[in-house]
Chain A
Amino acid sequence: MALLEVKNVTKRFGKVEVLKGIDFSLEKGQVLSIIGSSGSGKTTLLRCLNFLETPDTGVISVDGNDIFDAEDTKKMSAAAIRESRLRFGLVFQSFNLFPQYSVMENLMLAPKLRAKEEIKAAKGTRAQLKQRFAEIEENAREILASVGLSDKEDSYPCQLSGGQQQRVSIARALMMKPDILCFDEPTSALDPELTGEVLKVIKGLRDEGRTMIVVTHEMEFARNVSDNVIFMANGVIEEQGDPEELFGAPKSTILQSFLSGIKK
């Protein structure tokens, strides 16, 4: 069974139907790239997966459990959403780090709040909380090392380059141990010479076997790193498949012209 299953997701903003019925699935450990021209609905799709937008119709299931079902509003309580959305992580185009916190604090804020809630709910002791905090700190150090930023623990986001900020934001998303990590054009806010270090981190995550969805304009990256590529146009999946096939022999004229437009 696929890890992620998206069925007939639609979304409209006012009169504009931005997603017109999206269906796809994703196996555990696979990397899916989503490409497509501006306004085709890529960001909206990722936002739906992360519960930042509510689809009008459709079902999203992870591990066979429907975590979203437009017909079943019971699943849409704030508490239920909070649990479900942690199946996904999202790395934003614009990083969205918390400027007042150091790198370590950015990583640990959400997990510590969660640990506090859990210990309180279980009527745990102060020592247990301390223990959890220590684990979180250790985990944060490990993850920070894995994105190559061990020396930036105490830096503030404003003291980091764009590439470093984006790596911190990837680390922050990893702290919540998402099943599926989503990236929305993780490098398009970066200077060209900084995109490499971020893409390298994403490649590293693939090699660890992480399941990821990457919206990208980096065709080279999509072709080399992903197991599957989706090409979106006007709110539908126009074409999907193996990257070599999709890039090597695009079937639809719309994808052909999209790809030739990029090369120019």
Chain B
Amino acid sequence: MAITWSSFCKVTLRLLEGFETTCLIFALTLVLALPLGLIISFGSMSKFKPLAFITRVFVWIIRGVPLMLQIFVVFYVPRLLWHWPFLSRFNAVIVAFVINYACYFSEIYRGGIEGIPRGQYEAGEVLGMTKSQIFFKVVLMQVVKRIIAPMSNEIITLVKDTALARVIMVAEILKVAEEYASTSALIWPTFYTAVFYLVFVGVLTLLFGYIEKKLSYYKA
């Protein structure tokens, strides 16, 4: 079937609906995983060794198992074990994504935090600052500068990982396009989704470039 203007518009509108879900998965994951990752990184750096150990094992498991499998686990295991359909498909995706990305972020945070020289903390201490003042006023911004590049990589990967939500039938953009392929034998919408991803990633790339430039006013 030839691509007509009206079919193009129709497909675009349908794909936009799917893209909304894609964006929602992206945004929710980001908003929840960014702070959770910080908490996990504190756990993995804890002076209380058992906590640090458990946290690191957890991070190892989450980073070592495919995200797709984790989505299955979060969605199906409660149902199978306890007949507990607690999480909707969409919520299961969010839970799996948030845990997965929080673990990746936590390792980036840890690298960034551990890279701050001890002298920065000590300078704050001898000036009578509290531990939390030192963290928020002295260390945090330096950490942000250090992690912005690895973070932007991870966040761009997240954009594309959202496509995994389709494994439990969440209608993100690629799922919507695949439905065209299976119901109307239209393959071009699937390829067309690339445009949406590229625009999204393009905007993020510009944004991170801007932030990096903003932070380049000083050298660490």
Listed in ascending order, the chain A residues whose CB lies under 8 Å from chain B are 50-52, 78, 82-83, 85-86, 88-90, 92, 94, 96-100, 109-110, 113-114, 156-158, 169, 172-173, 175-176
Contact = CB atoms under 8 A, between A and B. Distances in A.
A110 B127 CA distance: 6
Interface residues on chain B, size class: 20 to 34
Nearest to B140: A100
Interface of B: 117, 119-120, 122-131, 133, 137-138, 141-142, 145, 217-220
Given A94-B119, A98-B138, A100-B141, A85 B218 contact: no
A186 B124 CA distance: 18
Contacts of A157: 218
B127 A172 contact: yes
A99 B218 contact: yes
Nearest to B144: A100
B216 to A, nearest CB: 11
Contacts of B131: 78
B127 A100 contact: no
The 9 A-B pairs with the shortest beta carbon distances in the complex, nearest first, are: A110-B127, A96-B119, A96-B123, A158-B219, A90-B126, A156-B218, A86-B128, A100-B141, A50-B126
Contact of B129 (A89, A92, A100, A110): A110
Given A94-B119, A100-B142, A158-B218, A52 B125 contact: yes
Given A100-B141, A172-B127, A92 B218 contact: no
B120 A82 contact: no
A51 B121 CA distance: 13
Contact of B122 (A96, A109, A172): A96
A176 B120 contact: no
Given A110-B129, A113-B129, 19 more contacts: A51-B125, A51-B126, A52-B125, A83-B128, A89-B126, A92-B123, A94-B119, A96-B120, A97-B123, A98-B123, A99-B218, A100-B145, A100-B218, A109-B137, A109-B138, A113-B133, A156-B218, A158-B218, A176-B128
